[in-house]
Structures are given as C-alpha cells and as structure tokens.
C-alpha cells in the first residue's frame, strides 16, 4: 500500500478546527460578538441578533463537516463564501475605522486588530478551502469543480482578490487617518 502526504486531510482538520474554535468562542460570548457587530454600524439590531445566533452555528456545522470529511467539498465551498463575507466586512469596517474582528479571544494568536493581518489570515483560510475543493483524494464524492479548473487558477484569483482587498484597506486607512 502506498503512503502519501494527504494535504487535503490536513487542510480539512486545520480549517474545521479553526471554525469550531471560533464558533465555540462566539457561542460562549454572544454579548461580545453582538457588541463587535454593533460597532460596525452596518446592521439593524434585529439582524445583529440573527447573526449572533446563525454565524456561530454555521461555523460549528461547517467545522464538523470539514473534520468528519462528510460533504467536505461543499462545506469548503460554503466556507469560502463565509470567508469572502468576512473579508468584505473587514474592508468596510476599516473604512469606518473599526477593524476589530470579534472572531477569537483577545489572547488568541488568530486574533488581531490589524486589518492587514485579518486579511492575510482570511486568505490563508481561503487557500485551505481551495485545497479541499481541488483535492482528488477523500471520500468517494464527485468533483465539485470541473477538471479544467486548476488549483493554480483558483490561487491566482484569490491572490488578485487579496491584492484588491489590501488596496481598499490602504485607501480606507488613509481616509480614516485624515
């Protein structure tokens, strides 16, 4: 039997573990998460309460699916969508002068108030999700994406999105400082 390093397996464990960690923190501290969302100033109060309940539950479910390997490619796709929303909120929050994430405890190495660090973290998590989606190993599931879409093209698209996001953060930071 051939042994090989299964990158997808490790990507699923890392990404799923981080999502479960974030979900547990938010579920145990809903007031803090609600305060962070209120400080963004984007959402009406009724929607904030819905987000405080639904986002941690979605993160918990996605993390569990990723770790278990059940529907992992679909979970990775949903994770990408969620991470893209987080990236947009980071950029918009920076425009308003608020770059606090509220995803992890203050003492966590995953937490930062620096929007650049938040973007880099979220894009690294996106990269893990892309690895899961493009992996040819795993449970007997049909490929989610066509064989013509390669890891390199997805990575390039993520890199371009990352550069554009950094540009927006730089513009927002300058506008906020003036």
**Predicted local confidence at residue 139, as pLDDT:** 45
How would DSSP label each residue in the chain? ------HHHHHHHHHHHHHHHHHHHHHH-HHHHHHHHHHHT-S-HHHHHHHHHHHHHHHHHHHHHHHHTTTHHHHHHHHHHHHHHHHHHHHHHHHTT-----SS-TTSTT--S-HHHHHHHHHHHHHHHHHHHH-S-SSS---SS-TTS-HHHHHHHHHHHHHHHHHHHHHHHHHHH-
Contacts of 106 (CB under 8 A, 6+ apart): none
pLDDT tens-digit map of 103-142: 776 766 666 667 777 788 888 898 889 888 887 654 444 5
Sign of CA dihedral 66, 72, 76, 77: negative
Higher-confidence residue of 10 and 168: namely: 10
Stated pTM of the model: 0.71
Cα 162 to the center of its chain, rounded Å: 13
**Predicted local confidence at residue 130, as pLDDT:** 86
**Predicted local confidence at residue 5, as pLDDT:** 55
pLDDT tens-digit map of 29-85: 888 888 888 887 777 887 888 888 888 888 888 898 888 888 888 888 889 888 888
Alpha-carbon distance of 136 to 134, in angstroms, equals 6
**Predicted local confidence at residue 152, as pLDDT:** 58
**Predicted local confidence at residue 82, as pLDDT:** 86
Q: Which two tokens stand for residue 37?
A: 């969302």
Q: Which two tokens stand for residue 173?
A: 């930071």
Higher-confidence residue of 6 and 161: namely: 6
**Predicted local confidence at residue 140, as pLDDT:** 46
Residue 24: C-alpha distances to residues 8, 61, 110, 139, 153 (Å): 24, 11, 14, 27, 34
Q: 28 exposed, middle or buried (CB, 10 Å; 0-12, 13-18, 19+)?
A: exposed
Q: Give the residue extent of every domain in the chain.
A: 7-177
């Amino acid at each position: 039997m051939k042994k090989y390093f299964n990158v997808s397996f490790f990507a699923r464990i890392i990404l799923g573990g981080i999502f479960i960690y974030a979900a547990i923190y938010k579920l145990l501290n809903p007031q803090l998460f609600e305060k962070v969302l209120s400080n963004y100033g984007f959402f009406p109060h009724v929607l904030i309460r819905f987000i405080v309940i639904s986002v941690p539950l979605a993160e918990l479910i996605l993390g569990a699916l990723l770790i278990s390997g059940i529907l992992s490619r679909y979970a990775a796709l949903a994770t990408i969508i969620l991470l893209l929303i987080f990236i947009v909120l980071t950029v918009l929050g920076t425009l308003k002068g608020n770059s606090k994430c509220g995803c992890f405890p203050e003492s966590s190495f995953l937490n930062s108030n620096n929007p650049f660090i938040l973007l880099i973290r979220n894009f690294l998590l996106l990269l893990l999700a892309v690895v899961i989606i493009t992996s040819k190993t795993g449970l007997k599931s049909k490929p989610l994406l066509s064989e013509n879409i390669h890891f390199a093209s997805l990575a390039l698209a993520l890199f371009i999105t990352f550069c554009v996001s950094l540009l927006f953060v730089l513009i927002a930071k300058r506008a906020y400082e003036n």
